[in-house]
A and B are shown apart, each in its own frame.
Chain A
Amino acid sequence: ILNVEQSPQSLHVQEGDSTNFTCSFPSSNFYALHWYRWETAKSPEALFVMTLNGDEKKKGRISATLNTKEGYSYLYIKGSQPEDSATYLCASNTNAGKSTFGDGTTLTVKP
């Protein structure tokens, strides 16, 4: 993988459903993986910064895992709520200081 890829591009779920999406990134020269939550007309908000293979981080109902050897990270949302509706961006940093963003996954949670 040469670029940062996120899937799916968009996701529509019902309130209460649990969901997950994927960020794939180049595993060479890996330094850090960031997840951001971006609501319309607001600044992207940092959710997690992950650095170590096998890292698992949790913030409320949202959690993330990291596999640096195979180059992927999963973001999980348990019991989705309408306020979780946003675009979720991941960005991979190399040890050269370059950040590459994925296109984002847009989540819509229907009440």
Chain B
Amino acid sequence: GAVVSQHPSWVICKSGTSVKIECRSLDFQATTMFWYRQFPKQSLMLMATSNEGSKATYEQGVEKDKFLINHASLTLSTLTVTSAHPEDSSFYICSAGAGRGGYTFGSGTRLTVV
């Protein structure tokens, strides 16, 4: 079946640094990738939709200059948290697929900013 590989699984970084999270579709081409964030005991919140070869579409309230998304190929989408601060500490997860086909998720990245 379809597999999305996400890494790193967890990362600790210093406040003010940037962190890049990668999602790769291993056995299929993902023209669209979705990026979510989940705070403790809350639901997955869609941050942005990444489209191969074009700009990402951000949800309301998500700073596009802070959360840089690049989808340069049909198998790779990246999310870069720039100048991270402790309030950016969260669980980030990507998924590919949509509609009636269901999503294939990555395994998620736990980001801790200290």
The reply on A49 being an interface residue by CB < 8 A is yes
* Chain B residues whose CB sits within 8 angstroms of the CB of A44 once the complex forms: 93, 95, 103, 105
Given contacts A89-B44, A103-B42, A103-B43, contact A43 B108 (CB under 8 A): yes
Most buried by A among B9, B42, B44, B46: B44
**Which A1-56 residues sit within 8 Å CB-CB of chain B?**
4, 31-32, 34, 36, 41-44, 46, 49, 51
CA distance A97 to B42 in the complex (A): 22
CA distance A42 to B99 in the complex (A): 22
- Choose one: A36, A97, A104; the contact of B98 (CB below 8 Å): A97
- Docked-complex contact B102 and A46, CB < 8 angstroms: yes
The chain B residue sitting closest to A51, CB to CB, is B100
The reply on B61 being an interface residue by CB < 8 A is no
Report A25 CB to chain B, min CB distance, Å: 12
How many chain B residues have a CB neighbour from A under 8 Å? 24
* Chain A residues whose CB sits within 8 angstroms of the CB of B34 once the complex forms: 99
* Chain B residues whose CB sits within 8 angstroms of the CB of A89 once the complex forms: 43-44
- Docked-complex contact A31 and B106, CB < 8 angstroms: no
CA distance A93 to B103 in the complex (A): 11
- Docked-complex contact B99 and A46, CB < 8 angstroms: no
- Docked-complex contact B107 and A41, CB < 8 angstroms: yes
Most buried by B among A32, A34, A43, A93: A43
- Docked-complex contact B100 and A46, CB < 8 angstroms: no
Known: A4-B43, A43-B107, A101-B43. 14 other contacts (CB 8 A): A34-B103, A36-B103, A43-B108, A49-B102, A51-B100, A89-B43, A89-B44, A91-B103, A93-B99, A97-B98, A99-B46, A99-B98, A101-B36, A102-B43
List 11 A-B residue pairs with CB atoms under 8 Å apart, sorted by A's residue number: A34-B102, A43-B106, A43-B107, A44-B103, A44-B105, A49-B102, A89-B44, A97-B99, A99-B46, A103-B41, A104-B43
